[in-house]
Amino acid sequence: MGSWISTWSQDPADRNLPALLCLPPAGAGCQQFRSWQPELNGIAQVYGVQLPGRENRWGEAMPDTFGEAVTAIAAELEATLGDRPLVVFGHSFGGLIGYEVARRVTPRALVVSGCRAPTHWDGAGRGIVDDGEELDKLFDTAGLDPALLDEDTRTVMVGMLRKDAQLSLSYVHRPDGLLPVPVHAWGADGDETVSSADLDGWAAVTSAGLTRRTVTGGHHAVLRHPRPVLDHLAALLRAEGAPLTRAG
């Protein structure tokens, strides 16, 4: 079984910096966050979560349940980071995984983008699994027009999306305690899959407050134009206004 956690830093000194854990959206791998490390050099060491079935874990089977994936990620993360300060960032489906990981490892802050609150996830992704009617809305991660994708590329992308959507359907939110860290939820004004109410719902799962931010664009706007969220993450990682220690 391959590693769930990847990093792109080659400098041993980075292990003394705070850590940023990044979780990609459904159907994607974590290599898209490789370019974030140079942007945060001297501020944080960037880590990515890699689910099976993509990139360097192409031949590995998906876990049977959402909970199985979260347990494996949290265990490897704790072994990797120890008590280093941590901020968790997750986009779309990655935000949901990030939330459940945060419940286990207690980071300094949780930042999500294009992600429904956990209480709004019941049945989310079923359209992708059953008939694919939501697929085209999700292809704008890289500005892709589904009509211009060749058949093989589209087949691969659809396959990964459906596997992750199937995994999301095994998720059940258990409200057994509020997250004791602040949540920062980013949304986009043109997102057709996650509503403003879906984002506002994050206030119900944290005892440390919700901050909402909105950008222009579609579902993946934050990833396509990451400068604003990178500046926000840098401020959190520098602990501007508050000491940065492992919460809890």
**Mean pLDDT of all residues in the chain?**
86
Instruction: Report pTM.
Output: 0.87
Q: Which of 57-71, 108-122, 143-157, 198-212 has the lowest mean pLDDT?
A: 143-157
- At 80-137, the pLDDT tens digits run 999 999 999 999 999 999 999 999 999 999 999 999 999 998 755 555 545 555 555 5
pLDDT of residue 130: 52
**What pLDDT shows up at residue 195?**
94
Mean pLDDT, to the nearest integer, of 182-200? 95
Q: 165, 125 in Cβ contact below 8 A?
A: yes
Cα distance from N-terminal residue to C-terminal residue, the chain: 31
pLDDT of residue 54: 85
Distance CA 184, CA 229 (A): 10
pLDDT tier at 76 (50, 70, 90 boundaries)? Answer: very high
Percent of the chain, pLDDT > 70?
84
**CB neighbourhood size of 213 (10 A):** 15
How much of the chain is in helix, strand and coil states, percent to nearest 5? 45, 15, 40
Phi, psi of 204 (to 5 degrees): -80, -10
Q: Residue 87: helix, strand or coil by DSSP?
A: strand
Q: What is the pLDDT of residue 151?
A: 73
Instruction: Compare 26 and 135 and report the one with higher pLDDT.
Output: 26
pLDDT higher than 90, residue 198: yes
Average pLDDT over residues 212-234: 95
In the predicted structure, residue 2 carries a pLDDT above the cut 50: yes
Helix 66-81 vs helix 93-105: angle between axes, to the nearest 10 degrees?
Answer: 60
Q: How confident is the model at residue 3 (pLDDT cuts 50, 70, 90)?
A: very high
Q: How many CB atoms lie within 10 A of CB 13?
A: 9
CA distance 214 to 222: 9
The pLDDT tens digits of the residues spanning 147-183 come to 656 777 667 777 778 888 888 888 989 888 999 999 9
Instruction: Count how many residues are written for the chain.
Output: 248
Mean of the pLDDT values across residues 35-40? Answer: 97
Contacts of 212 (CB under 8 A, 6+ apart): 185, 186, 187, 199, 200
Answer yes or no: are the C-beta atoms of 193 and 93 closer than 8 Å: no
Over residues 39-55, the pLDDT tens digits come to: 999 999 999 999 998 88
pLDDT of residue 145: 53
CA trace torsion 185, 188, 192, 193 (10° rounding) = -20
pLDDT at 62 over 60: yes
- Find, among 77, 53, 34, 31, the residue nearest to 165 by Cα: 53
Residue 1 is which amino acid?
M
